[in-house]
Amino acid sequence: MKAIKYLLSIVFTIFSSSSIFSFEAGGHVDPVPPILLGLVVLFSGASFGGFLANKLKQPVVLGELVVGVFLGNLVFLGYDGFDFIKTGEVFQILAGIGVILLLFEVGLESSLSEMIKVGFVASVVAIIGVVFPFFLGLGVSYFFMPEKSIYIHAFVGATLCATSVGITARVLKDLGKINIKEAKIILGAAVIDDVLGLIILAVVSGIISSISTGGAELTLTDIFLVFLKAVGFLVGALIIGTKISPSFFRFGAKLQLEGVLLSLSLIFCFVLSYLAHLVGLAPIVGAFAAGLMLDGVRFPKMYGDDRHLGALIFPVSKFFVPVFFVHMGMQVEVHSLLNLDVLAFGLCLSFVAILGKQACGLGILGKNTRGVSRALVGIGMIPRGEVGLIFAMIGAGLSLHGQSVVDEKLYSAIVMMVMITTMITPPFLIWALERKKV
N-term to C-term CA, the chain: 94
* Least spacing, CB of residue 115 vs a second copy, in Å: 24
Chain residues 133-172 in contact with a second copy, contact rule CB under 8 A = none
Chain residues 29-58 in contact with a second copy, contact rule CB under 8 A = 30-33, 35-37, 39-40, 43-44, 46-47, 50-51, 54
138/323 with CB nearer a second copy:
323
* Least spacing, CB of residue 107 vs a second copy, in Å: 16
Q: In terms of Cα–Cα distance, which of 318, 295, 388, 292 is closest to 349?
A: 388
Query: Which of 120, 135, 319, 351 forms a contact with a second copy (CB under 8 A)?
Result: 319
State which amino acid sits at residue 366: G
Pairwise CA distance, residues 142 & 136, whole Å = 10
Tell me phi and psi for residue 360, to 5 degrees.
-55, -35
Does 15 contact a second copy by CB under 8 A? yes
Does 393 contact a second copy by CB under 8 A? yes
Decide: 133 and 321 in contact? Cβ < 8 Å.
no
Pairwise CA distance, residues 120 & 189, whole Å = 10
* Least spacing, CB of residue 149 vs a second copy, in Å: 19
Pairwise CA distance, residues 320 & 204, whole Å = 34
Query: Which of 81, 232, 236, 259 forms a contact with a second copy (CB under 8 A)?
Result: 259
Decide: 50 and 326 in contact? Cβ < 8 Å.
no
Query: Which of 78, 214, 215, 315 forms a contact with a second copy (CB under 8 A)?
Result: 315
Count residues near a second copy (CB under 8 A). 94
Pairwise CA distance, residues 433 & 308, whole Å = 29
Pairwise CA distance, residues 426 & 168, whole Å = 7
Q: What are the residues whose beta carbons fall under 8 Å from the beta carbon of 299, sequence distance 6 or more?
A: 249, 253, 261, 309
Query: Which of 61, 66, 100, 382 forms a contact with a second copy (CB under 8 A)?
Result: 100
Does 16 contact a second copy by CB under 8 A? yes
Does 252 contact a second copy by CB under 8 A? yes
* Least spacing, CB of residue 27 vs a second copy, in Å: 7
State which amino acid sits at residue 287: A
Does 420 contact a second copy by CB under 8 A? no
Pairwise CA distance, residues 389 & 414, whole Å = 7
Decide: 217 and 210 in contact? Cβ < 8 Å.
yes
Stated as kind and residue range, the H or E segment containing 371 is none
7/216 with CB nearer a second copy:
7
Pairwise CA distance, residues 45 & 19, whole Å = 44
* Least spacing, CB of residue 316 vs a second copy, in Å: 5
What secondary structure letter does DSSP report for 305? B
Per CB under 8 A, the segment of 126-134, 188-196, 225-233, 264-272 that binds a second copy is: 264-272
Query: Which of 179, 219, 247, 263 forms a contact with a second copy (CB under 8 A)?
Result: 263
* Least spacing, CB of residue 331 vs a second copy, in Å: 5
* Least spacing, CB of residue 135 vs a second copy, in Å: 22
Does 344 contact a second copy by CB under 8 A? yes
Query: Which of 149, 242, 339, 399 forms a contact with a second copy (CB under 8 A)?
Result: 339
Per CB under 8 A, the segment of 23-31, 125-133, 160-168, 228-236 that binds a second copy is: 23-31
